[in-house]
Amino acid sequence: MLVLVLLGVIASFLTGDPVEAVKRKWYALTDAVAPVDIGRVSSRRASSEIPGSAPEHAVDGQSDTAWSTSWQSTGSSRGCAPAPDTAVLRLSWNGRRELRRIRVRVGLEEGQTERFQQYVPSVLGVRYGEAGCVRVELDDVAGWQERPLVLGELVDAVTITLVEASEPARDPFVPVASVRDVELLARPR
């Protein structure tokens, strides 16, 4: 590990800011991350959103709010394309960041009877850049789920799509899927 740090220091003297190079190497070695301060939240296909469930609810950190969209079951799919007639969430921030992880809470809160009547997102698509796409597979649990999110480039925005969802557990089914919270984690600045 010390050899890598020393190589990073030597390379930084040759190519740029030595302090920044050492910091980047240290963050990579320790896998350090920090929450991204989401500055702007919007939704495309807003007509598919459920009234009272604004896109901002997906990043407000409160467990009793959610961003919800209509959902039509399509079975399994490939890539990050959203299901038909499903709203998509656009998150952006100041400055390009190296995303490393995503934390999400899907569906409604545990104990809410409506949770078992709605679809629960099981695969999210994270779209970035010109054509980048990472699929994030989730479990049908109410609590936080953290998954790796390595994009391979610095980004200042992502689009979150609902790609697949688990069937509701009981009747009557409500054609809705909800995301309570999204948190993006990136290398510290």
Cβ–Cβ < 8 Å for 62, 186? no
Residue 64 DSSP code: T
Dist CA 131 CA 164 (whole Å)? 20
Q: CA of 116: how far to CAs of 29, 63, 161, in Å?
A: 42, 16, 21
Dist CA 47 CA 86 (whole Å)? 9
Say if residue 183 is exposed, middle or buried (CB neighbours under 10 Å; 0-12, 13-18, 19+). Answer: middle
Beta bridge partners of 136: 124
Dist CA 120 CA 177 (whole Å)? 6
Q: Return the domain boundaries, the chain.
A: 1-30, 33-186
pLDDT of residue 7: 62
Residue 129 DSSP code: T
The CATH class given to the 33-186 domain equals: mainly beta
Averages of pLDDT over each 10 residues, the chain, 189 residues: 62 65 67 90 79 90 90 79 88 95 93 88 93 94 94 94 90 88 93
> Which residues contact residue 54 at a Cβ distance below 8 angstroms, ignoring those fewer than 6 apart?
67
